[in-house]
Structure 1
């Protein structure tokens, strides 16, 4: 796809300090080994895989009554890629594009945007279906509100006069990045300084703090980690999600009962982190062993394939065969492949149950917001 210039996923292990949380290889399998300074017990952490304790201390309630975690998918993605000194690796050059994709997924999960029903939608890739705003109310997140305002403007007569019409998921990603569109039109809808604004939001939420660093003769802004517990719990959730051999819905925890689709939110985060190239850093920070590290990346790839189509887990009209895609990537089966297949089967069932629950009991194919999420993940799955 032209809007993403030859994105590549890297599997480079990064060094971390000794204070990182460890997921060891000892028996029992995937046992968490916490550092002496962390008072959180292993049993309590098992119930926080989908929602860390810091995140749930300040939950924003939407007008529909469900709860939204304090950190958005974009903020969690950025937090996974940032180091303790507040810097992002220069190797994550595609992170900005993936952040803009994550904005669309966040809006879809909040039921603010959806795909327009079309009678031939089963015959075209889901990423090529047209997006519309179904609720332009404020979200309390400035970058989400700005995106909604842009997308809503396209649906007005003034938008049509400016030469912009309702467009597809794939084209919206290009438009927000000002790639592949007319310059005069694209720059008017480009989201600027996304990383900096998300970091500022994390500072306001107490996760990061503002600081300056001397670089030669210049002073540069930096945002070191202020709340290490939030980042540590986020890394643990992601690492356990990608290495656990068995799973239970009870692990969601009591506090996540009213959060809209917590499992699907974590699926979106993992796929975005894998595509942006920050997943390696998160797994290394969790001190995952080499074998589990490779298995975790394979599982992330399988999850992306299964959820990058609609309905989730179906072949889709333009999907690359799963086996062929993994062969093309140069990866064979890993020691945990059997566990991953069982886990992904469970995952698909749980996500479908979530969709039915939050769609008012209707079938999953009647909720076009979740279909939009599949469209974004389909864009991810087509990247090299």
Structure 2
């Protein structure tokens, strides 16, 4: 069964897993239904959103870029904001984000391995300012014998090797949510579950989520300028995590079919480093992570 068919059958059941508040879900759907308004101003608005949301990874040392970096969402935060619950996709996002920030790369070898099997090493160990990214960076620095696919499994705790359990990243979803709270996108609330209280993180700033939804819809309906590789990574990761449906609830049936066809083609092209992907700036790490996504159960 193709990934597209899987989404049409099961995608409607996707929800925002970091937030079970019915009012917030209703607000999200109302926000998504406003996507018709985005269609009228798609050209100019898409360019403005891209300028505001895309961080210049090539110039992250100057003061202006550093200030912008402090406010932008990481790839992991964008996927979580759509409603992610898949551990492997998040770990793949961490690797792509480190690659975008030019902290890791694949080891150059004479014999070229498949992208997902290429070994990773650290090329710049400067802290990124993001706790999860820095923790993953320190782990990768200690072992340059692991491949892209192996690191995704190790950081997700998917290993039988007792010596590798120390590579597992713990409480990733909660820590990303806390980062979104610190940035004012989510808020923390205490909810009573009979015997205990639990912290939940409903959306506090819907404008951020609306911009994310608009950017996703514009990309998958081929509106405006060509997407950056960061936007492509976000769309493909949301697709692999089966939460892309959350951003497309306001589209009609034909538009949804077009969007899923587009992201399916995009994932396959970028995972294999096709011509469009090369023109968009794909690197070995991104291609390797996306190739892992193409083999995930959710897409088969």
TM-score (norm 2): 0.82
Kindly state the Cα deviation for residue 126 of structure 1 after the two structures are TM-superposed: 1.0
Question: Whole-Å Cα distance in 2 between the matches of residues 181 and 64 of structure 1?
Answer: 43
Of the three residues 61, 64, 77, the one matched with 1:63 is: 61
Question: Are 2:132 and 1:153 equivalent residues in the alignment?
Answer: no
CA displacement, residues 213-250 of structure 1 (integer Å, 9 cap, x when unaligned): 12223211011111111110010000111113x5435x
Within-5 A mapping of 1:269-348: 269-284=234-249, 287-309=250-272, 312-313=273-274, 348=276
Distance 2:240 2:81 in 1: 15
Sort the Cα spacing of 1:305 and 1:56 in 2 relative to 1 into closer, same or farther, 3 A.
closer
Q: 2:124 aligns with which of 128, 135, 140?
A: 135
- Matches of 2:130 and 2:175 in 1, distance apart? 11
User: Which residue matches 1:381?
Assistant: 294
Alpha-carbon distance in structure 1 between the residues aligned to 2:44 and 2:185:
22
Taking the TM superposition and a 5 Å limit, the aligned residue runs for 1:169-208 are 169-183=148-162, 185-208=163-186
Instruction: Measure the CA separation in 1 of the matches of 2:169 and 2:278.
Output: 32
Give the superposition deviation at 1:353.
4.5
Shift of 1:114: 0.4
Deviation at 1:139, TM superposition (A): 0.2
Q: How many residues align structurally?
A: 274
1:354-375 CA-to-partner distances (Å, cap 9, x unmatched) read: 53xxxxxxxx8xxxxx111100
Stretches (4+) displaced over 4 A: 13-16, 41-44
1:208 offset after TM fit, Å? Answer: 0.9
Measure, in 2, the Cα distance between the counterparts of 1:64 and 1:111.
15
Aligned to 1:45: 45
Which of 196, 201, 215 is the aligned partner of 1:218?
A: 196
The answer for the alignment partner of 2:109 in structure 1 is 118
Q: Larger Cα Rg: Structure 1 or Structure 2?
A: 1
Q: For 1:353-372, what aligned pairs fall within 5 Å after superposition?
A: 353=279, 355=281, 370-372=283-285
Aligned to 2:17: none
Q: Find the counterpart in structure 1 of residue 34 from structure 2.
A: 22
Does structure 2 conserve the Cα–Cα contact (< 8 Å) formed by 1:11 and 1:280?
Answer: yes
In 2, Cα distance between equivalents of 1:60 and 1:75: 21
In structure 1, stretches of 5+ residues that fail to align are 1-7, 25-30, 35-40, 82-91, 156-165, 250-261, 315-347, 356-363, 365-369
Partner of 1:12: helix, strand, or coil?
helix
Q: 1-side partners of 2:238 and 2:42: how far apart?
A: 25
State the TM-score, normalized to the length of structure 1: 0.65
Task: Quote the Cα distance in structure 2 between the aligned partners of 1:49 and 1:297.
Answer: 22
2:99, 2:286 within 8 Å by CA — same for their partners in 1?
Answer: yes
* Distance in 2 between residues matched to 1:120 and 1:66, nearest whole Å: 41
**CA deviation map 1:167-187 (0-9, x unaligned):** 11111111111213402x222
Please list every run of 5 or more consecutive structure 2 residues that lacks an aligned counterpart in the other structure.
1-5, 15-24
